[in-house]
Amino acid sequence: MFLDSDLLMSALRALTPILLAALGGALCERAGVFNIGLEGMMLLGCFTSVATSWFTGSPWLGVLAAALAAAAYSLILAVGAVTLRGDAVVLGIAMNLLAVGLTSFLLRTVFGVQGTFDDPTLAGLPLVGGFTPLAYLAWAAVAVAALLLSRHVWGLRLRGVGEAPDAAATLGVSPAKYKYGAVLVSGVLCGLAGAQLALGNVTLFSENMTAGRGWIAVVAVMLGRAAPLGVLLAALLFGLAEAAGFRLQGVGLPQQATDAAPYVVTLAALFLSTARRRRRRTPTSGVAA
Amino acid sequence: MNNRISGALRSPVTFSVLAGVVIGALFLLGTGADPVTAYQAVLTGALGADGIGSTLSTGTSVLGMALALAIPLRAGLINLGGDGQLVLGGITAAVTGLYVPLPAPLAVTLALLAGMAAGAAYAALAALCENHLGVPLLVSSLLLSYPAVSLASYLARYPLKEPGSSLPQTRALPEGVALPAFGDSTVTVGLVLVLLAAAGYWFTDRRTAFGYEIRMTGLNPRFSAYAGVERRGLTLKLMAVSGALSGLVGAIGVLSFPYRFVDGSLTAPGYTWTGLTAALLAAAAPLGTVIASLFFAVLQVGGLAMERTTEVPRELTQVLQAIVIVFLAARLRFPSRLWRRRKEAV
């Protein structure tokens, strides 16, 4: 009764933004750029999609604008970490902080409200078979990313750049070009994730509305070992935790317990996966030591 | 000496701060405000007679969190769980202050210590996750933070909620269970405690072997491992100290006005993130962290005054802070050639 189709549906809805962002993170990871700015790029996508949809009346333009804005924003990481060889971790943290400040600032200057912008005439994304088109796009993106990384020359070069940049450069593959590409694509995907969150899952913008989902996506990349299918499974786990949390709220658990559930589940999954990996690795590392 | 001054002026820190101020001015122009008036309002609002008390009490929390995050950062470790450690320190101090039947001064001391212990234990948990479960500290500390904030929020809303109040807050602490304030101001002895912590950090960093180990690990982890620094132990110790300081900030917050734990009051002002920004700007150097914290406290408090005089949202100061760190992380600085030419012209 608990694990029914309703729960699965709401889990699938909850996972879409995480999945889109995590796919972007996985591509960056494969290209050798540690991208923890997913949260900020997503938040910027949320705001841009809502603002554009509000002023043009078209949620589609909102989606497009979110993708473009987040891609432009991702250039901070590309230029800072790849060209200027700055610290990707610090850049990512700064990008997340900047996105919170920037969107709160714009929320007040553009809409003149503080906290949440919510209007019944704000156009959200239509549902097709219970999901937004972006959800289908996310699933398709998993397949495309998986094929790209395992079969296509771009994917193979991308992995080469991440694993051995010098060797790739010797073979005439420009590491910077592929790293820029991966970061920009992650920007687009995070922008779409933000649009899905703000025009799909709900139809509003509120300050810091991503609430750690970008970080969950970072963890999903780790859990899925930066492989698209692994990332999908990890995102599904999070989606189930969020959906189950809402269900438990219905039977009287306080909201705080359900708020915390996804993080606890994610952390537990991370423990289990690393514990298993370590146990498997123990005999070989014993020899090496 | 002259070289040192020109070096400091040319450093990425100066460049980043100036870039932040310039971009902030562009934002101000974009909203139709006069940047000079706005920045003046920030300075007079934060450092004038009306604002200095507020700057010092905000500065207490910002500096406390900045130190908490700077200490592991000095060894290259990033603690992103400041919020969780902060609220656990706060709620533990509140419970201690409310239920320990001791004379007020003892209860205050115990509440401070309990808050520190709670923060330290929770931060140590994140270190154990990295050391023994293979979860990177960055991720384990951040993910642990969310459940802690939820737990404190739950406690303040249900079991410990003040009966009859519509606000999510605990009962007020008993009479006298509070940190003494200076005069009528909101500045408490908490500022002294945090400054003492800064002095302790400075001494450890400059004058002890442990401080040297920390710095060497930050500069080159492989070298320090080769030289015999035990990384797991160091991570655990530094995280415990970091959590203890975060917990102290939480406890100070609860033992100052309004003398209770209010859900969200410790996390909403963003002390953790401002503190982290200050620590990053100063590259975790003790004295630099103090100066950077003061700078950001002035921005945060002055932002309110700016909002009053120019109607530009105070969130602008948050944007400015982040821009400074973006430029800093990208390691931009004034080109040396340009600088030399300028100097010759002078």
Q: Is residue A194 part of a domain?
A: yes
Taking CB atoms and an 8 Å limit, are A259 and B78 in contact across chains? Answer: no
Q: Is residue B244 part of a domain?
A: yes
Q: How confident is the model at residue A252 (pLDDT cuts 50, 70, 90)?
A: confident
Average pLDDT in chain A: 89
Q: Is B121 touching A (CB cutoff 8 A)?
A: no
Is the pLDDT at A283 greater than 50, yes or no? no
Q: Is residue A251 part of a domain?
A: no
Most distant CA pair in chain A, distance: 66
Q: Is residue A135 part of a domain?
A: yes
The pTM (predicted TM-score) of the whole model is 0.90
Q: Residue A206's domain is classified under what CATH number?
A: 1.10.3470.10
Taking CB atoms and an 8 Å limit, are B319 and A86 in contact across chains? Answer: no
Q: Using alpha carbons, select from B190, B122, B167 the residue that is nearest to residue B261.
A: B167
Q: Can you give the residue range of the structural domain that contains B56? A: 52-275
Cβ count within 10 A of residue A266? 25
Give pLDDT, residue B145: 95
Give pLDDT, residue B80: 94
Q: How confident is the model at residue A206 (pLDDT cuts 50, 70, 90)?
A: very high
Antiparallel, parallel or unpaired: β A205-206 and A116-117? antiparallel
Q: How confident is the model at residue A280 (pLDDT cuts 50, 70, 90)?
A: low
Is the pLDDT at A54 greater than 60, yes or no? yes
Q: Is residue B141 part of a domain?
A: yes
Q: Can you give the residue range of the structural domain that contains A143? A: 13-211
Give the DSSP H/E element, type plus range, for residue A117. strand A116-117
Chain A residues in contact with B331 (beta carbon < 8 A) = 84-86
Give pLDDT, residue A271: 85
Is the pLDDT at A3 greater than 80, yes or no? no
| ipTM metric | 0.88
DSSP classification of residue B168: S
pLDDT digits (tens, 9 = 90+) for B259-270: 999 999 999 889
Distance, in Å, from the CA atom of A189 to the CA atom of A141, rounded to the nearest integer, reads 9
Q: Is residue A243 part of a domain?
A: no
- Please name every residue paired with A205 in a beta bridge, in sequence order, or none if there are none: A117
Nearest to A94 among B129, B146, B325 (CB): B325
Give contacts of A 199-218 with B, CB under 8 A: 212, 215, 218
Most distant CA pair in chain B, distance: 72
> What's the total number of domains in chain B?
1
Q: Is residue A53 part of a domain?
A: yes
Is the pLDDT at A256 greater than 90, yes or no? no
> What's the total number of domains in chain A?
1
Q: Is B277 touching A (CB cutoff 8 A)?
A: yes
Lowest-confidence pick of A23-27, A155-159, B287-291, B338-342: B338-342
- Report whether the peptide linkage leading into residue B258 is cis, meaning its omega lies within 30 degrees of zero: yes
pLDDT digits (tens, 9 = 90+) for A112-138: 998 899 988 899 999 998 899 999 999
Question: What would the two tokens of residue B46 be?
Answer: 């934060």
The label of the residue with tokens 């975790």 reads: B284
Q: Is A267 touching B (CB cutoff 8 A)?
A: yes
User: Which residues, in sequence order, are CB contacts of B242 under 8 Å at separation 6+?
Assistant: B68, B69, B71, B72, B79, B85, B123
Give pLDDT, residue A284: 39
Give pLDDT, residue B156: 94
Give pLDDT, residue B238: 97
Q: What is the mean pLDDT of each run of 10 residues along chain B (346 residues)?
A: 69 88 93 91 92 94 98 95 97 96 94 98 96 90 94 94 92 93 89 97 96 93 91 96 98 94 92 94 94 94 91 90 90 57 47
